[in-house]
Amino acid sequence: MAEVLLFHHAQGLTPGVRAFADELRGEGHTVHTPDLYDGHTFDSLEAGLAYSDRIGVEEIIERGARAVTDAPAELVYVGFSLGVLPAQKLAQTRPGARGAVFVHSCVPSSYFGSWPSPVPVRVHAMEADRLFTDEGDADAARALVDEAADGELYLYPGDQHLFADSSLPSYDAGGAALLLDRTLAFLGSR
């Protein structure tokens, strides 16, 4: 079984993020869900992004790095949207990463150096999610999976950004179920 560090999206450590983590735990994986927002959650993506802007992207990434201070090196890093930033940094820069799963977002690997070739990566997003397609994430994801020795990009039908969070109106049950199945298969091979 894999040991996973799952970072939440801009609306915080919502019940839907916790539920996704619980699904992974239910299959025997150890899942840590650090709270980058110190208990704050937000009813809208806009409010959550405003909060993350006040904290600052670098501080969010640093909070993610502090979350692994006492963790083993052999982790799979999972990030939902904003949580991709610390997940991607750790997957790229912390020795021992067993894999990475980026959901709803991706940044160019050059942001953190280059992708370490032995680390497999999976990127998941909805094909018409404007935050993913219009802000460069789709291009970054395509480049990343090309750069990685073992990388895949999964595009789901629909236009919702946070489609995997069951506690939000953007939730898409079909897409979320397929994401969960694919993530469990990926973790099973780690």
Is residue 117 scored above 90 in pLDDT? Answer: no
**Average pLDDT in the 99-127 region?**
96
**Average pLDDT in the 61-75 region?**
94
Please state, rounded to an integer, the average pLDDT across all residues of the chain: 97
pTM over 0.95: yes
- Provide the greatest CA pair distance for the chain: 39
pLDDT of amino acid 80: 98
Please check whether residue 53 is in contact with residue 26, taking contact to mean a CB–CB distance below 8 angstroms.
Answer: no
Sheet of 121-126, strand order: 30-32, 3-7, 76-80, 99-103, 121-126, 151-156
Please check whether residue 92 is in contact with residue 65, taking contact to mean a CB–CB distance below 8 angstroms.
Answer: no
pLDDT of amino acid 190: 82
**Average pLDDT in the 182-186 region?**
98
